[in-house]
Structure 1
């Protein structure tokens, strides 16, 4: 079948919101922006910061109006992995202070490392320790802080009420996401409930899909119980202690947040999708645009098996280390910023020491080998890696120059094991520029690795979509040095990351198109890579009617287009589509192909086709159909979600009008018979070659690399003595279908 020109479908942004109040910029946010510009070393400029501020204003506009004394609300903010979510919620905090919020509580990660990371960023971005006194910080408040908290809150209220000339700072509380610490904070604030009654508050939950949610939701759904997991229960206590507040959930993987039980107090009613900056390099960058350049497949033998670790380091680890050291050497010569390598080995902690020992061994031996004038093998290996980097990174110094400093570079690297059994030393990025981090779970989520260029991940594939995405610490603002990046992954992990790109784009696009950002009536629907078992961990899923629909390559048909109440409207919809598509693209007769399909029947019943270049025309057809059965509605929704992918590299969809929509010669069939036996077979069936065929059969009329839609006009005689013409649709899905469909039935 002929192909048409490629067409790109643009993604829509959020619809204008209908916020109940309108927050404004003030001195705190202006100071925040100016400080970030003056101290920026990551490409932040006033334009990109103003975008962050505008998005944060929209989020704040959907938080509780500070003039309301008793109200609470839960909202969801969706970013990308390593894309600046912390910057967003620090900007949101600054705007809250400017607009009458007296208290901000940040649930700052579930580990001490993440908590320290978030506190450091808040201190830097908000000037918590500044003499300008925009904030008073209380980390992990306990009963000993009760009196001072009361005084600070009362001082802030006096200033707000006009009884204090001197500006009084807003309060910010940081708490690790540990149920005991959260309960302690809730108890302190509960004792101040009367003081806090008219103090508008933000509760910001960083990485909100982790630890915060009720891990007994699925069990409750099945048993009818109302049990609560400990961290979830502690967050409820915290929220109950504050009369007027908004619970703001930040995450890059919102699947868990979107599948909470209807009526759950953490179930968000509003969603905001925030954008990444221009220099952001994420899933599309690494797994679509530059997959072949920057992603290296690990041999299956290099899978980290904690029960059977080899004695010697795999060659691929040495290759990854050479890439990293060459990048560091180039950085040393250019006096650039940090460079880091990350080894995500295993969930088990025992292999971490092994990988660390292997790296230490290479870094200690290689300088000696490189200084040996008779040793050429290692230098040759470095040259191979150098030539690869030279193809992807502009301005790489000469190989000779890099190798001159290589022995010293090897001695400059700091190696740190990051896991629950490690010594707990904080990684002070300002103390040293070049790091290799080895770990597993602690490097999965929220952990920022400064200047990360090389990732070595020989671990097994995660089962859940959100888990594997959170492992992508190599995403981030790396465009300036992306050519130095290399990502070493096993084959199944490469497939999962690659497939997830389309799933993530579709989810973000769907969320951006939610009318006014309101999730109350939004029907949950997701794409899920066939290589993954689930969207998220099953124990938190509280929605009753969520099911997985598998869309496999081959033929699939709508089932119930012959419902009496819908025949007339659907016939009109399909004919209108054919007329519009014919006017735009022109019907053509399908002639003898010679290899795929044959149609030598008389001309009035020969198949004709259209090649449609615009997915929106097809999407409109599908969405305008009147469908009585959930099986058909689900199929249509799934197809609409993947239309852009299903258009293939040619950017077209083929429409085949079976028998040119002619009913001549039909005697009438039952709808049940059509549903089970849609397609006319080859004629004659005894033909042994193409030359002997008069017709190759309906199933042969499709394009192998893109979506084909067959439209047929079928006489149906189900309804008494009458016979009805019913226009019926069948779809042939190409092998490029990468994802299944998760749907909620409302």
Structure 2
């Protein structure tokens, strides 16, 4: 039961808590204060005050830290959630609710996930500690909100110096400083001492007294600085000089409890020099800072942990300097409601591949492909052309700009005048090309300004066409009729408000979302690829390629929150980039699943090495950051694989696979009968020999465009694991219905063919069907496949399977028609044969992986953290 008066009383009790010993005392003080200014408490008001007190007491009970998403080194728990005396988190929580308008569910999610991260830090009540952890979020997913919540709670818990490494550019640092000040510092400004400001010259410099100040109980000091060598060196020399002599007095140093947060920690922080004895300077300075501070928790935040998990947990010179391997914890942030990410863009494998995809499985139909032949008109193909090349206004770029203007008009029609609206154009890494692309778009709009807002003419027809095509493909989700006539007044206001910004390493600070609402077309380069938030992003024209997982994922600036305009975002890009992103989305989910799987088995971060599948032709991260990795033995243990890409126009390969399947079926049937299921539509043979299976797999052609299924690696693993794979079960999966294959499948005769249409707009000549297997298929050889449930996760369902390898054959109708707007007809030269394999075992390895080489030292070789710290401090005292 609640009412406005109860809510007011509860808020006022919380406000008084920091200066009283208990909620009861705070409630009594509140009643006394109100009575002293003339309020006469009625029995109803007393009852409301009592209810409010109960709510406050309930909210302050210890929070159970479930550690649902974390790998942790074993240690004593110390943090059980916000306490009654906390100052900064209650203020931030209220600010998020009252000023930013966040809903209760979002705040509750941030509250829970930030409490988990704080519980993983070192206890600030300890005299000394050196702690290292990694927080894995999603691109543009509220990572900063979690970070600010962690800072607020950490200060409440006893940390008194917060150091935040906010990117490598002035723009990113200033953006981070502003966010921290607005969200935390300004709530209780008198509790904070700031060493940095949001001004261009506000980065970290030596304090006036050349030292950090003695921390005051209940207060905190803040540093937000760029992650560049000069600033890091200046910060370190405020603690200790190059000779190890303290610059901040030891009496002060021992009182500092430091939380060092490294935002985008896979950028610049990871040691990328050739060997451990020649560390890169940024990495070295961060490590020196960690060594110089007696009590510090280092926490890296990233959406792309690929580089971090390749740090050697056992560096050769660990006794000289700590590396940044997240030894103490690795945790993943939850995927909050309203997040618009890879799952929304690309969808996921359908539950029933035979039937039409649901809208969620298909993903939003927001991607528009730029044909390869148009690329030469939009960006220089060779570096030698970067100074002479001038981009042209292609139909695709024109459509993207028009849709952006229309999307802004639609948002204005929805009453979103007070919100930012942005288009991103990212086509080239070259600065001169950013300037020319911005000039091209600006001149195109200016020269057609009258036609864009008139009642008739060529442009009106073009805009009518774009509006119809886009809203046909992605229907508008909010009430209202948006004809071009309805939108015309809003189009004019959009064009009046439109600004252009160039964002790259050499541009002045152009983007500014801090004051009035902005309507931007932003053209830029690397600075847009990482960290810099583009508010209200609805349209991206994105052609820049990257051959690294982490950079490519970070370039996904179109991910984030799109409340009130989830139906409007569009992405113009190449078919190849779309394919890579779709594969990357699966890889990213695998990392999170691996962390979860290892957590269940009690694995610590130091024993943990995330294995990342290698996309052919794409490095995981910069090769220099992978010095400690090696290509591990390929293992498909506990995994299931399936063919989803086919050379469907190749007569030779299609016919060859059919012949291989016929021969295999005949060979299997010659030695044992097939069991039939589902009214004779599914067939199962048990105890098929490895030799028979291998013979078929050698004859079967797997499309080379598979990202994660290579024939030589598959056969290599099967040969290596032959002792455990001697007997197989083999299933023939055919659907019910009247679609029959063109030819008989050997001794089985005429069989039904499954419908699998292909994804649209593939320029590489293969057909991608997205998914072949369903969960129910892999239960074909269970004791009673009709009763076993197939609605759990893949891992749960595989637990119900016998520990026997299973090979499934699928007959696919070569003339399969598209069943949704995201698909097109399969259009194969003949019926296809697809295969799926389910391997027994525990899925702790899979695919073609790179992995940390754990050349672990024996325990007596590792000095304790406390011994090393004591030696460092004793040495400083001797100086």
Could you say whether these structures have the same fold, taking a TM-score greater than 0.5 normalized by the shorter chain as the test?
yes
Structure 1 CA distance, aligned partners of 2:611 and 2:467?
A: 45
SS at match of 1:403: helix
Provide the residue aligned with 1:383 in structure 2: 464
Given candidates 24, 32, 41, the residue that maps to 2:92 is 32
Q: CA deviation at 1:22?
A: 2.5
Q: Give the secondary structure class of the aligned counterpart of 2:285.
A: helix
**RMSD (CA atoms):** 3.8
1:394-543 correspondence runs (5 A): 394=477, 395=479, 397-459=482-544, 461-515=545-599, 518-530=604-616, 532-543=617-628
- 1:694-739 CA-partner distances (Å, limit 9, x unpaired): 699xxxxxx993499999xxxxxxxxxxxxxxx9857579579997
Distance 1:420 1:431, change over 3 A: same
- The Cα offsets for residues 484-535 of structure 1, whole Å up to 9 and x where unpaired, read as 11101111001011111111111111113332573111243223444x5221
- Corresponding residue for residue 379 of structure 2: 305
Task: Decide whether the 8 Å contact of 1:273 with 1:508 is kept in 2.
Answer: yes
Distance 1:424 1:548, change over 3 A: farther
Distance 1:90 1:674, change over 3 A: closer
Instruction: Tell me by how many angstroms 1:371 deviates.
Output: 5.3
Q: 1:421 to 1:518 in 2, by over 3 A?
A: same
CA separation of 1:310/1:250 partners in 2, compared to 1, >3 Å: closer, same or farther?
A: same
1:192 aligns with 2:255: no
Report deviation, 1:594. 11
2:729–2:806: 8 Å Cα contact kept in structure 1?
Answer: no
Q: Return closer, same or farther for 1:204/1:193 CA change in 2, 3 Å cut-off.
A: farther
Matched, 1:102 2:160: yes
Q: Distance in 2 between matches of 1:28 and 1:123?
A: 12
Instruction: Tell me, yes or no, if the aligned pair for 2:549 and 2:621 is still in contact at 8 Å.
Output: yes
SS at match of 2:190: coil
Show the counterpart of 1:272: 331
Matched, 1:246 2:297: yes
Cα deviation per residue 1:197-224 (whole Å; 9 max; x = unaligned)? 13211000000000111111xx22xxxx
* Misfit runs of 4+, over 6 Å: 550-555, 593-597, 600-604, 671-680, 689-696, 707-711, 735-739
The residue that corresponds to 1:170 in the other structure is 220
Task: Give the alignment partner of residue 14 of structure 1, picking from 69, 88, 111.
Answer: 69
1:255-301 per-residue CA deviation (whole Å, 9 max, x = no partner) reads: 11001012252000211101132010100101224646211111213
Write out per-residue CA displacement over residues 599-656 of structure 1, whole angstroms, 9 at most, x where no aligned residue: 4988872244789xxxxxxxxxxxxxxxxxxxxxxxxxxxxxxxxx99xxxxxxxxxx
Q: d(CA) in 2 for partners of 1:326 and 1:434?
A: 12
Number of corresponding residues: 588
Task: Specify the alignment match of 2:52 in structure 1.
Answer: none
Conserved 8 A contact 2:70-2:595? no
| Structure 2 CA distance for partners of 1:548 and 1:34, relative to 1, 3 Å | farther
Larger deviation, residues 242-251 vs 474-483: 474-483
Alignment partner of 2:672 out of 605, 608, 618: 605
**1:118 lines up with 2:176 in the alignment:** yes
Q: 2:398 aligns with which of 318, 321, 334?
A: 318
| Contact 2:88 2:188 (8 Å CA) reproduced | no
Structure 2 CA distance, aligned partners of 1:328 and 1:173? 38
Aligned equivalent of 1:262: 313
Q: 1:499·1:739 contact (CA, 8 Å) conserved in 2?
A: no
CA distance in 2, matches of 1:305, 1:385: 24
Partner of 1:89: 147
What SS does the aligned partner of 1:483 have? coil
Post-superposition Cα deviations, 1:293-338, rounded to whole Å, max 9, x if no partner, equal: 2111112133243327456311111100111101111223333111
SS in 1 for 2:195: strand
Change in Cα spacing, 1:554 to 1:130, as seen in structure 2 (3 Å) is closer
SS of corresponding position for 2:566: helix
Please state if 1:61 is matched with 2:144: no
CA change 1:141–1:523 in 2 (3 A) is closer
Gap change, CA 1:490 and 1:693, over 3 Å in 2: closer
Closer/same/farther in 2, CA of residues 384 and 241 from structure 1, 3 Å limit? same
For the Cα contact (< 8 Å) 1:193–1:242, is it kept in 2?
no
CA contact 1:19–1:62 (8 Å) conserved in 2: no
Give the SS at the match of 1:233: helix
Contact 1:313 1:355 in 2 (8 A): no
Alignment of 1:571-586 (within 5 A): none
Rounded to whole Å, the distance in 1 between the matches of 2:476 and 2:667 is: 57
Secondary structure of the structure 2 residue equivalent to 1:263: coil
8 Å CA contact 1:70–1:198 kept in 2: the answer is no
Correspondence for 2:283 among 212, 221, 232? 232
Distance 2:146 2:303 in 1: 12
Cα distance in 2 between the residues matched to 1:692 and 1:381: 52
Q: Which residue of 1 aligns with 2:451?
A: 369
Q: Report the TM-score, using the length of structure 1 for normalisation.
A: 0.71
**Contact 1:339–1:451 under 8 Å retained in 2:** yes
Check conservation: 1:601, 1:694, Cα contact below 8 A: no
For 1:356 and 1:438, locate their aligned partners in 2 and report how far apart those are by CA, in whole Å.
6
Counterpart-to-counterpart distance in 2, 1:335 and 1:281: 21
Matched residues in 2 for 1:476 and 1:433: separation? 18
Q: Distance in 1 between matches of 2:391 and 2:586?
A: 40
Cα distance change, pair 299–192 in 1 and its aligned pair in 2 (3 A):
same
- How big is each residue's C-alpha offset from its partner over 1:420-453, in whole Å with a ceiling of 9 and x where there is no partner? 2323345244234211110011100111100000
Q: Tell me: CA distance 1:68–1:292, structure 2 relative to 1, closer, same or farther (3 Å).
A: closer
Q: In the superposition, relative to structure 1, how do residues 376 and 514 fare at CA in structure 2: closer, same or farther (>3 Å)? A: same
Q: What is residue 722 of structure 1 aligned with on the other side?
A: none
| Contact 1:214–1:232 under 8 Å retained in 2 | yes
Deviations 1:377-410 (A, max 9, x none): 2111111221234343223533202124424422
Q: Secondary structure at the match of 1:520?
A: helix
Q: CA 1:244–1:517 in structure 2 vs 1: closer, same or farther (change >3 Å)?
A: farther
List gaps (5 residues or longer) in structure 2.
1-66, 197-202, 241-246, 316-322, 348-359, 645-659, 679-707, 710-720, 731-741, 750-755, 757-770, 782-802, 810-833, 838-845, 855-879
> What secondary structure sits across from 1:133 in the alignment?
helix
Rate the CA distance shift 1:594–1:99 in 2: closer, same or farther, 3 A: closer
Matches of 2:285 and 2:434 in 1, distance apart?
Answer: 33
Give the distance between the partners of 2:113 and 2:272, measured in 1 at CA: 31
Taking a change above 3 Å as real, the CA distance of residues 480 and 679 of structure 1, as seen in their structure-2 partners, is: closer
Q: Paired residue for 1:393?
A: 476
Q: Does 1:52 align with 2:110?
A: yes
TM-aligned CA deviation for residue 693 of structure 1: 6.4
Q: Deviations over 1:105-155 (max 9, x none)?
A: 0001111111111111101110x24554232211144334336732xx24x
The equivalent of 1:352 in structure 2 is 434
Give the Cα–Cα distance (whole angstroms) in 2 for the partners of residues 692 and 188 of structure 1: 77
TM-score calculated relative to the size of structure 2: 0.61
